[in-house]
């Protein structure tokens, strides 16, 4: 199945927080229990320069990362990995250190290990960074 396209803007110094739900061709949520997720932002596809890497295996102390069990919309509890939901979160502190103008990104899920790793690209697009004017210095 082809990856979806989503372009977005990061307001430097602001929190980035969005949840997507990955569904199969029949429109049913994909169970992510046995998967991890990762997202890189780079100047272009194939570039060695890495602006941002967030993933579900390591969530930073400030919450920056990808959560496979994000809070439910009614904030009563967390959605299970079987809901197919992924929360991409970059803290205000982390976004304040970004300096690129424009980047390409993709969001992948993966399972297993080399050489038998299974990877599916689920989202791709362009990220623009709008520079911060007001800082908390």
Q: How far apart are CA 131 and CA 134, in angstroms?
A: 10
- Is the overall model pTM greater than 0.85, yes or no? yes
Q: Quick one: pLDDT at residue 132?
A: 87
Determine how many CB atoms are found less than 10 A away from the CB of residue 120.
14
User: Which DSSP letter does residue 14 get?
Assistant: S
Peptide bond into 63 cis (omega under 30): no
Q: Quick one: pLDDT at residue 85?
A: 93
Which residues have CB under 8 Å from 39's CB, separation 6+?
52, 53, 54, 55, 66, 88, 105, 106, 107, 108
Q: Quick one: pLDDT at residue 136?
A: 67
Helix (H), strand (E), coil (C) string for 54-102: EECCCCCCCCCEEECCCECCCCCCECCHHHCEEEEEECHHHHCCCCCCE
137 residues of the chain, pLDDT tens digit each: 788 999 999 999 999 999 999 999 999 999 999 999 999 999 999 999 999 999 999 999 999 999 998 888 777 778 888 999 999 999 999 999 999 999 999 999 999 887 889 999 999 999 999 998 877 65
């Amino acid at each position: 199945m082809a990856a979806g396209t989503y372009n977005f803007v990061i307001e430097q110094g602001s929190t980035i927080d969005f949840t997507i739900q990955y569904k199969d061709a029949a429109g049913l949520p994909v169970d992510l229990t046995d998967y991890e997720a990762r997202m890189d932002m780079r100047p272009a596809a194939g570039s060695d320069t890495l602006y941002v890497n967030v993933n579900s295996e390591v969530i930073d102390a400030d919450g920056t990362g990808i959560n496979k069990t994000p809070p439910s919309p009614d904030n009563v509890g967390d959605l299970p990995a079987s809901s197919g939901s992924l929360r991409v979160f970059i803290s205000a502190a982390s976004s304040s250190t970004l300096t690129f103008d424009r980047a390409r990104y993709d969001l992948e899920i993966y399972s297993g290990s080399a050489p038998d790793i299974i990877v599916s690209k689920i989202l791709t697009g362009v990220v623009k960074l709008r520079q911060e004017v007001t800082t908390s210095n």
